[in-house]
Structure formats: C-alpha cells, structure tokens
Structure 1
Amino acid sequence: MGRIKFNGVFLLMVLQIFLVATTTGDETCESDRKMEEQCRFHNYKTVKPLLDYFRQVRNELEQSETKEKQISELSFDLMEKYHKIVRIHETFKKEAALLNEYKNKVIKGENDLQLCQNKVDKSDFEINSQQNMILKLEEQLTDKSTNLENCQVQLKSLNSRLIEKDENIKRLSEIIKNNTEHQKTRELELEKSKSILLTHEKDIQLYRSENHKLNRTSENIREEQKNIQLKLTESETKLIDKVKENQLCQSALHKLSPTTCPPLGDYSGVHQLNVSGIGLFNVLCDSQLAGPGWIVIQQRVGGNESFNRDWATFRKGFGVPESDFFLGLEKIHRITSLQRFELYIHMVAKNGSTYNFRFDDFKIYDEDNGYELSLGKFNGTIIDNGMSYNEDMKFSTFDHDNDPYNHINCAALNANGWWYNSCIDCNLNAPYGEQLCCWFTNKYISLKEVKMLIRPNEAMKK
C-alpha cells in the first residue's frame, strides 16, 4: 500500500516536469516553426516512454484505486464484522456472566440441596434414635409396671404385716398395762410387806427383849423363842421373795418395752430398745465397766471400721457391737430426749494407762439443729479435758461442714465426723492410730481404745 502511494507521487512529479518541458518546447517551436516537426518528433521520442510509463502508472493507479476501493470495502466489511464480533463478544460476556450466575445458583442450589439432605439424614437419625429411645422407654415402662405390680404385692403383704404388728402392739400394750397394774399391785403388796416387816421387827425386838429377860427360864420359854425365831425367819424369807418377785416384774416390764439398758443386775450384751420415733433397734449394754444400765453409743477397740462416713451414715449408725461402731445420731438424740442422761467416757492410752470421766447432762439436739452437743458438768480424775471444748458444737461430716471455720472443713481434713470446735482437741472418732487422741491440760494422749456410754441419771441413785 505504501509502495503504491510512493509510485503515484513519483508519477505526478514526472508529469509536472513533462508539462513544463512541453510548454518550454512549444514556445521554442513557435519561434522557429521550422523546427516544429523536429521538436514534435523529438518530444514524441522523448515523451513516449514516459507516456507509456504514465499509462502504465495510470493503469496501475486505476488498479490501485480499484484495489484501495476494494480494500476500503474490505476494511469497512472488516470493521462491520469486527463490530459484530465485539457485539457478539459482549453478548457472549453477558451470556457468560448469566451462565456464571446460573452456575453459582446451581452450585448454591446443590449446596442447599446437600444441606437439606444432611438435615433429612440428621432428622432420620434423630427419628431412629427417638424410636429406639421409645422402644427402651416402653421396655422400661413394662419393667416398671412389673416392678410396680410386685411393689403393690409387697405393699399388700407389708400392710397385712403392719396390721398384724399393730394388733401385736395393741396386745403388748394391754400386756404392759396389765403388767403395770400388776406391778402397782406388787408395789402395794411390797409396801404392806414392808409395814409387816416393820411390825415383825418391832415384835422381834420385843421378843428379843423378852427373850433376854427370860433367857434362863424353862424349856417352854425356849421353845416359844424358837417358834418366834422361826416365824421371824419365815417373815424375812417371804419379804425377800416378794422383793425378788418385784424385781422380776420390773425386769419383765422392762423387757416388754425398754427405752434404756436394765438398771439392775448384770445385763451386758446386745439388747433391744423401743424408742418413740424409731421403733425397735439393738444396742450394746455394759454392766461391767462402770456399773449397770449403760448404753454404749460409740466404741473404738480395734480399728476395723472407718469413721470417714457421710452425714446420712452417721445419722443412721454403722459398725457391729463386737468391734468398732457408732450407734447413730438420730438414735442418740431420741434416747437422750426422753430423760436426763449422764455420759461416761473410758479411754485406754497406748502405754496402757486408763482415763475415765463423766458429764452429768449429756444430750444431742435434733437434726434441724445439726445434732448439737450438750455435756453438762464435768467430773473426773483429771483437771481438764479437750472434750468440754466441743460442747455446743454441731456435728460435722465431709459433706456437712458445721465447724466455726470459714475456709476449713475439719471433718474432711481429719477424715471423720465429730463435734468440731477446732480440728484437734479431743477427737474420739479420728482414724485409728496416732490421730485417735485427746488433749488434757497441756498433755496430748494417743489412744488405742475408746468407749462412750450413757445411762439415765436416776440409775446413779440405785
């Protein structure tokens, strides 16, 4: 294209030169007509090649213009096609954007569909789990229905037993009432026997005085004296028999409904008490250590029982009478609420020394008051003791902290339940070993044996 333009320009320059030459030649030929033909011939010869070349160039120019026109048309067509391509490209871009949008919507729909499928799977799993749970609950309900029927049968049996026990209690109450009346009758008879005995004693004194006066009388008087002595012996024997019979009646009455250990005789061993609010339960009675009538409420003799128990266990009691045991806070409360009791503590040190002391008004309050400890006056061979320091304290266990410290649980620290005013002093429920101890006045004693016993204060007067 550039070459064609260059050739066109060159031809135009040559044509201008030719015209100038022709004009010049014409002027010369006019001045010399003679030379006209020569000039024309000469110009023709000179210009002919140029004319030929010009014709050729003009043809080429015409061809070039035709080609340029074709090229322009082709360029125009090309531009139209380019614009069409651009429009098609823009349309394609829009369609591609729409396609991407549709693709994103499809992907989102697939994701939503997957989430829905997951939710459906989760719902199916939960439904299966709930169905399994329903089946289990139905089985448990069936078992509980069976257990309920068994419990109802047992309840009927217990009700019948309870009715029988109520009848037995009524019968025993009537027996106790009859025995009480019989005891009153015996007591009246005993009073009469005592009055008779006093009368007999006066008679004996009179007989003895008469015997003294008539000591040297005849054999008849001696025989009469023997008869009097025989009568006196018989009266004394009858009186002794009545006293024994009265004691037996009291013992029988005590066995029917005792609330403490028998206050007379040697009744050591396990006995059954009947205390209001609890009913019948076994206790260990001791008539050897400090006289009759003692109930053992706590015993440490071998370390076979752990005293690191929870509140419910201390409330109920644990252990066996043959070894270590604790009677139970509720039983001790019920017993000591009936009348005034004394407390006797017997301790044996590891070196064999024994220590005994008493308190004259022992009791513990009810559970609402934390089974608070009350001791009364101290009486013993030692001057002071750590037990008194625990008075007015509530009972503490590792799950019921009632000691006066805010950030320390003495029961958890010492691994046992006790009436804590401090974490040391006299701890008779401590783990068996070095911790089982009691403080006296500036003296620490490690113990190997401990017994806590109670009995009614009236027993001391008998």
Structure 2
Amino acid sequence: MGRIKFNRVLFLMVLQIFLVATTTGDETCESDRKMEEQCRLHNYKTVKPLLDYFRQVRNEIEQSETKEKQISELNSDLMEKYHEIVRIHETFVKEAALLNEYKNKVIKGENDLQLCQIKVDKSESEINSLKEQLTDKSTNLENCQVQLKSVNSSLIEKDENIKRFSEIIKNKTEHQKTLELELEKSKSILVKHEKDIQLCRSEINKLNTTSENIREEQKKIQLKLKESETKLIDKVKQNQLCQSELDKLSPTTCIPFGEDPGVHQLNVSGIGLFNVLCDSQLAGPGWIVIQQRVGGDESFDRDWATYRKGFGSFESDFFLGLEKIHRITSLQRFELYIHLVAQNGRTYNFRYDDFKISDEDNGYALSLGKFNGTIRDGMRYSENMKFSTFDHDNDKDNYANCAAWFESGWWYKYSSPCNLNAPYGPLLRWWDKSYKYIFNLKEVKMLIRPKKR
C-alpha cells in the first residue's frame, strides 16, 4: 500500500513538470514555426519515455485501485464471513448445550427404560408364575371334583359301615359289660382266695409248732395252697385276657392291633372315637402315624383350627391333629420315630425317646427327649416352642410370621432348620441345628408308639 501511494505522488509531480515543459515548448515553437517539426520530434523523444512510464504507472495505479477494491471487497466478505462464523459458533455452542441436555435426557430415559424393562420382566415372571399357579389350581380343582365324587360315594358306603359298626359296637359294649361283671367276680374270687391263702399260711404256722403227725396235715394244706395258687394264676390269666379284650374294645394306641396295619379306631379320653393309621412295616408293630408326606397335593398352609383338628387323607398326605396328638401323648410316655427319604432315594431313620406336646392353652409346645440316630439332630432347635400358623404367630421373630413366610404350620423359633410340613421344593430340607444343609426331601413320616419299660 505504501509503494502504491508513493507512485501516485511521483506521477503527479512528473505530470506537472510535463505540463510546464509542454507549455514552454509550445511557446518556443510558436516563435519559431520553422522549428516546429524539430520541436515535435524533440518533445516526442524527450517525453515518450516519460509517457510510457506514466502509462505503466497509470496501469499499475488502476490495477492497484482494482486490487484495493477487491481487497476491500474481500475484507468486507471476510468480515461478513467472520460475523457469520461467530453466529455459527454461537449457534453451535447453543446446539452443543442443547445436545448435552438432550444427551442427559436420553441417558435418563435409557435408565428409566431399563428400570421399566426390569419391572416388566418382573411383572412377566409374576404373571407366568400366577398362570402356572392358576393352571395347578385348575388341575387341583378338577382332582378335587373327582375326589369329591369319590368321597360322596365313599361317604354313602361309610354310612352303611357306620350303621354296621354301630351294631357291632353295641354288641361289643354288651359283651364288655359281661366281661366287666366276670372281671368283678374274678376279683372277688381272687380276694377270697387271697384270704384263704392267708388262713392257710396261718394254719401252716400253727402246724409248724405242733408235732410231726401234724406235718402230714401241713402237706395237705400245702397241696391245697398250690391248688389255690394254680387257680389264682388261672384267674390272673383270665383277668389279663379280659383286659386285652377290653383294650381291643377300647384301644388308646395301635399296640392291640399288632401286625395288622392300616386304619383302626382309637378311643381316647376327651376326644372319643377317631380313626388313625397304624404302621408295622417301618419299625415294628404298634406305631401311630401322626404326619405323612408322600408326594401328594395336600397343602400344609392351614389355619390354627385346621391343624388343631387334623386334615388330609390316610392314603396320601395328612396331619393327625394337634389336639389328638396331645391327648394320646398325655396318657403315657411315647417315643417319636421319623422316617425320611431324600431326593436321591436314600433313607434316614431316627428317634426321640420322650415325645409329647402340651395342651392348647400352652400352645401345643413341643417336647422331644433324647435323640438317637445316624444324622444330626435337626429338630432340637424347635424344642419347647409353641406351634405357629399364619393366624397364630407364636414364634420369637419380632419382624415376620415364620408360618406365613414358610407357608406351613410348625414349631418355629425364628425359623426352623427342619420344617417337615414345608411345601415340596427347596424349603422341604433336613438341616442340623447349626443350619448346615444336609439334603432335600421327597418323603416324610412321623410315627409314635408307647415307650417300652
């Protein structure tokens, strides 16, 4: 730019000099017209280089002005572009901020979507579980309907059996009265024979103080005494037979039925007549089955009243009833025999030597006695605990009802390492008292029998 301005100034100075020289030359030429041609030639020769230079300078000036104009235009375009870039940058910054905001919203939306997906998956699993339960309950309902028809038919048959048994009981009651009268007669005869024996012994004592002649009488009396003792032994045997007949007529355990397993009727004080399942296969004769799990569909998630009364079928799963178990075990000392079958088919058997449960006022509390078995004592954790159901919470857990949580009634403390009433599956297991897992169960039987003296 500085060089262009300098050329402009130099061009103006040379132009002024040229104009002065031209004016002077014109005046000289006018004075001497003859020299006009020579002046023109001289001026042309003198001025031509300058004119050429001026033309060049003029062209350069015009080019420089054009370039300046172009540069000015470029500068203005650059400024516009700069302002546009600034605007674009500001727009870009705003859009970047919006993009970050949208990105955060998208991330939050993805998190919400994941939570929703988890909830949907959970809901789907719950729906599937409910569908399976509904299917199972529908199947159970159909089975119940079939069983109801069977029960109705069996009820009709049992009504007839009840009538027949009523007649039998009536006849046996009369026979029982006859036997009781005979027993009373036998007892009176026994008393009389005992008095006779005492008299005989007193006579013997007297005879011992007499002479040898009286010893023959003593021998006779001894013979009579032996005869009386023989008669007395016979009467005792008769009394025992009468007592066994009475036990058969009014049994309180399965002992009188010996090797005859199956359903029999007991007569226990406070309850009266009721049916029990007697077993002689697992551990010998005389066992009463109080609980049985053999893979049936019977639910053990029952209320207090149902557990008190008992439920189920002797042919499948059942619980005899808390009140019946209490009344039976209060008569004398009983032992408890537990038979377990694991999922792998292996069997386990063990005993407790003094099993009983208290009355209802004390919550049917559990007592076991000494343990005898080849596996660890798992029920000891429940000893002295009251029985709990979902509507009678007698456990020691202040935060949950164990019976509702484990879907079954049992003698819970906080939980139970061996809940033999638990639903089939992962909850029906045998644990020891230190909660060391032993095995899953597919079959359970609990049996009681009077403890042999």
TM-score by length of 1: 0.48
Greater gyration radius: 1
Relative to the length of structure 2, the TM-score reads 0.48
